[in-house]
């Protein structure tokens, strides 16, 4: 009767209420769907309210528990609060008194969660752009119009989204737009850079850990899945996670449940996963480098973002956006790109995609004359030429360049004379110097990519971190590519 009365009172007050006949049943309910607050009697058969509060704290030390107790057991209730309960109310109590206590507990829990989310965002998320929804996606090309249409279509769903494209194309921007337009946009949006963390750190970051789970775990910590409950979680570069973490991700996607590191308690969550990758995941799955079942779970709602070289008409609006943003950020005098500077930028292939364009724009604004009203072509030209692979870094070169233009991969061609035929080297692993000139179409993109990576490795004397940074890819991505090429005898085993 007490349980039914409390439930009815809270329901009439506008709360969504679930009831349980005892503490064990309550724990099952909590593991299935986490509530905002737990209201429990103190004296119950089997497990008391004090014991229940302790069990709940081991699951979630931020979930508030309110004890209902008779006046004679106030001391016990106070002791329970010391052990983790949030508050208590004494019987008999008025309905308004109970409602105030519940609202206060929910507000307290909300502040704690917001604080945890802000800390999590401070660790890995990028600063917000100040834009919302489709306004985040800058570009007037037909390709980006299609991307915006896809974002609008998938946002209202709760299905998993897989965003693919080369490094620097703006995959995280698109993921933000998906969350903004989704029914979850008032809940948390969190991101994890899967390529930046080793396996043990990534597991703790995603799923959290219990106190004492490993050396240095001095307190319980919630993971991103738990913090993003009812919201969205971005798994950035999901292709870089280890097979062990892939198996755990598969389970979360299938069952919407997981365990913290060092715990056997199953936690249920409602999180929309958005994943990104700069790799060919179907190919990686076919080659056994990525779990096929996980790929199928991720690839429910796919969005492919084309490279900037395939949508050159987006260079101007993107450049204008970045320049204006940097001018406003630094409090500088307004400046714009000149027409010939825009023309030059439109002739460049942007191997680093939108990220490279943003960096060039920032460099131009910061280094320009404070009194200048325009950024000239002459200012950009050395940087864009410098950004192209040099003969030492890229074994595809030509001499006597009269006027430079870029291919789809940013390679400089000789336009002062007809292009000679290209001769394929016998083996890349031999490092023999091939003929450097070739006609468009004589090589596949994978061949060009392989030669550029090998040449950049040689340039940095085999230093993988410097090579990866220069190419704008992750060290793990570089390692996986080299491993595959070594297995196929396409590069030297000494790389």
Number of domains in the chain: 4
Peptide linkage before 181 cis (omega within 30 of 0): no
111-143, pLDDT tens digit by residue?
877 776 666 554 444 444 567 889 999 999 999
Q: Is 400 inside any structural domain?
A: no
Token digits of residue 279: 């790799």
Q: Do 191 and 224 belong together in one domain?
A: yes
Q: Do 215 and 159 belong together in one domain?
A: yes
Indicate whether 328 pLDDT > 70: yes
433-452, pLDDT tens digit by residue?
344 445 555 677 777 888 88
Indicate whether 339 pLDDT > 80: yes
In this structure, what is the dihedral angle of CA atoms 173, 288, 453, 432, given to the nearest 10 degrees? -160
Where residue 377 falls among pLDDT bands split at 50, 70, 90?
Answer: very high
Q: Do 187 and 299 belong together in one domain?
A: yes
pLDDT at 373: 92
Alpha-carbon distance values, 478 to 115, 178, 246, 279, 429 (Å) = 36, 29, 19, 11, 17
DSSP-assigned states of every residue in 256-287: SEEE-BT---EEE---EEEEEESS-HHHHHHT
pLDDT at 484: 82
Boundary residue ending a domain (348, 370, 387): 387
Q: Do 293 and 320 belong together in one domain?
A: no
Phi and psi, residue 213, nearest 5°? -65, -30
Q: Do 228 and 283 belong together in one domain?
A: yes
Q: Is 408 inside any structural domain?
A: no
Q: Is 401 inside any structural domain?
A: no
Residue 110 CA to residue 398 CA, distance in Å, equals 63
225-273, pLDDT tens digit by residue?
999 999 999 999 999 999 999 999 999 999 999 999 998 888 999 999 9
Structural domain boundaries, residue 245: 131-306
Residue 50 CA to residue 164 CA, distance in Å, equals 50
| Rounded percentage of the chain residues whose pLDDT exceeds 90 | 52
Boundary residue ending a domain (306, 333, 355): 306
Burial class (CB in 10 A: 0-12, 13-18, 19+), 356: buried
Q: Is 397 inside any structural domain?
A: no
Burial class (CB in 10 A: 0-12, 13-18, 19+), 412: buried
443-476, pLDDT tens digit by residue?
777 778 888 888 888 888 888 888 888 888 888 8
Q: Is 80 inside any structural domain?
A: yes
DSSP-assigned states of every residue in 194-228: GGGS-HHHHHHHHH-B-TTSSTT--S-B--HHHHT
Q: Can you tell me which residue has the tokens 């494209």? A: 165
Q: What CATH number did the domain enclosing 418 receive?
A: 1.10.10.60
Indicate whether 92 pLDDT > 90: no
Task: Please state the rounded mean pLDDT for residues 194-218.
Answer: 90
Which of helix, strand or coil describes residue 368? coil
Q: Is 361 inside any structural domain?
A: yes
**Average pLDDT over the chain, rounded to whole?**
83
Q: Can you tell me which residue has the tokens 């950049």? A: 456
Q: Do 281 and 354 belong together in one domain?
A: no
Q: What CATH number did the domain enclosing 322 receive?
A: 1.10.8.60
Paired sense of beta strands 257-259 and 266-268, if any: antiparallel
For the question of whether the overall pTM of this predicted structure is more than 0.85, the answer is no
């Amino acid at each position: 009767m007490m349980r039914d009365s409390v439930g009815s009172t809270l329901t009439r007050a506008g709360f969504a209420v679930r009831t349980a006949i005892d503490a064990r049943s309550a724990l099952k309910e909590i593991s299935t769907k986490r509530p905002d607050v737990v209201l429990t009697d103190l004296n119950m058969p089997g497990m008391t309210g004090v014991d229940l509060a302790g069990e709940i704290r081991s699951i979630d030390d931020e979930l508030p528990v309110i004890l209902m107790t008779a006046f004679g057991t106030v001391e016990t209730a106070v002791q329970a609060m010391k052990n983790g309960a949030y508050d208590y109310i004494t019987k008999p109590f008025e309905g308004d008194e109970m409602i105030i206590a519940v609202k206060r507990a929910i507000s307290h829990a909300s502040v704690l969660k917001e604080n945890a989310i802000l800390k999590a965002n401070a660790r890995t998320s990028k600063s917000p752009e100040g834009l919302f929804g489709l306004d985040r996606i800058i570009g007037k090309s037909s390709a980006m119009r299609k991307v915006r249409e896809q974002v609008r279509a998938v946002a209202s769903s709760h299905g998993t989204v897989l965003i693919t494209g080369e490094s620097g194309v703006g995959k995280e921007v698109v993921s933000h737009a998906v969350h903004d337009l989704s029914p979850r946009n008032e809940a948390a949006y969190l991101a994890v850079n899967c390529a930046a963390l080793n396996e043990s750190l990534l597991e703790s970051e995603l799923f959290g850990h219990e106190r004492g789970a490993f050396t240095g775990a001095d307190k319980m910590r919630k993971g991103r899945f738990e913090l993003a409950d009812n919201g969205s979680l971005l798994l950035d570069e999901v292709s870089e996670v280890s097979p062990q973490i892939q198996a755990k991700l598969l389970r979360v996607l299938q069952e919407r449940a997981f365990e913290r590191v060092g715990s056997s308690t199953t936690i249920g969550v409602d999180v929309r996963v958005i994943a990104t990758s700069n790799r060919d995941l179907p190919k990686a799955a076919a080659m056994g480098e990525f779990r096929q079942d996980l790929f199928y779970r991720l690839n429910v709602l796919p969005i492919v973002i084309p490279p900037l070289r395939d949508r050159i008409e987006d260079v101007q609006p993107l450049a204008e956006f970045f320049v204006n943003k940097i001018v406003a950020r630094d409090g500088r005098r307004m400046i714009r790109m000149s027409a010939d500077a825009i023309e030059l930028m439109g002739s460049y292939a942007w191997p680093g995609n939108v990220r490279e364009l943003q960096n060039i724009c920032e460099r131009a604004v910061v280094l320009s004359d404070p009194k200048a009203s325009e950024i000239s072509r002459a200012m950009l030209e050395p940087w864009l030429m410098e950004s192209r692979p040099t003969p030492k870094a890229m074994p595809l070169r030509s001499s006597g360049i009269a006027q430079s233009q870029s291919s789809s991969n940013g390679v400089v061609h000789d336009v002062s004379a007809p292009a000679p035929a290209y001769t394929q080297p016998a083996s890349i692993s031999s490092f023999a110097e091939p003929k450097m000139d070739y006609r468009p179409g004589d090589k596949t993109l994978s061949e060009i990519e392989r030669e550029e990576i090998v040449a950049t490795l040689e340039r940095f004397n085999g230093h993988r971190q410097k090579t990866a940074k220069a190419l704008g890819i992750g060290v793990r991505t570089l390692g996986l590519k080299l491993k595959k090429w070594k297995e196929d005898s396409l590069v030297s085993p000494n790389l």
